[in-house]
Every structure is written in C-alpha cells, then in structure tokens.
C-alpha cells in the first residue's frame, strides 16, 4: 500500500540556516510526489510537485528512487517559511495520500 512517512513533527531552525524536511515513501512503480504547505490561518496549498522540477519560494525537492525519498530543501530559511508542510503521493487515480506533516518554525 502507498504510504508517506514524515519522521519529524517539528523542525526548528534559525533564519538563514539550511532546511531539510524529510519525506520517505512506499510505492510500487514510479511515483508522482507533491509537497503541500499550510501557512498560519491559510488554507492548504500546493508548494511543488516533482514532475515540474521547479524551485518555488526557494524550495526544491529531488526524487531519490533508491532511497525512496522526496526531501524538501531550502538553503536559507526565512521567517515567512514557518508553516506546516505535507508530503503526498497518489493512492490511486482519485486520491492523494498525505503524510502526517512537519511543522517548520523559523526563528529570527
């Protein structure tokens, strides 16, 4: 069964420090992976998807099939990056399976 594991509930860093939010997955085949983000008092929204290979707000994520990982990275964290981050993958055509989320807290 498809599964997403986000091992850290909370990641706390200082402004300007590098950030890596971990995501490991279990999936048979070639997965399409997503990162969704929820800022304080805002709705859940798409941050990036691996097929687009884009850098959004300075974040990148590389699919590593050998390690079955899709970690989210940013070289220099900003205070406005503080949010809940969810990794997700398809659980069939009709749905996404989400991880339990990691709260990123960036302190000044």
- Site of interaction with another protein (CB under 8 A): 4, 9, 32, 36, 43-46, 49, 86, 88, 90-101
Residue 69 DSSP code: B
In the bound complex, what is the minimum distance in angstroms from residue 100's beta carbon to another protein? 5
Q: How many C-beta atoms lie closer than 10 Å to residue 69's C-beta?
A: 17
Closest contact distance (angstroms) between CB of 27 and another protein is 13
* Least distance (Å) between residue 94 CB and another protein: 4
Question: What residue ranges in 1-44 does DSSP mark as E strands?
Answer: 3-5, 10-14, 19-21, 24-26, 34-38
3-state secondary structure of 9: coil
Q: Of 17 and 44, which has the nearer Cβ to another protein? A: 44
Q: Rank residues 83 and 99 by Cβ distance to another protein and give the closer one.
A: 99
């Amino acid at each position: 069964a498809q599964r997403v594991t986000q091992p850290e509930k909370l990641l706390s860093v200082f402004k300007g420090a590098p950030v890596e939010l971990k995501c490991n997955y279990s999936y048979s085949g070639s997965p399409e992976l997503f990162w969704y983000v929820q800022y304080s008092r805002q709705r859940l929204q798409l941050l990036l998807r691996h097929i687009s290979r884009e850098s959004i707000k300075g974040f990148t994520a590389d699919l590593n099939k050998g390690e079955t990982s899709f970690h989210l990275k940013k070289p220099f964290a900003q205070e406005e990056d503080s949010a809940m981050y969810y990794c997700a993958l398809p659980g069939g055509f009709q749905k996404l399976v989400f991880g339990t989320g990691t709260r990123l807290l960036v302190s000044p």
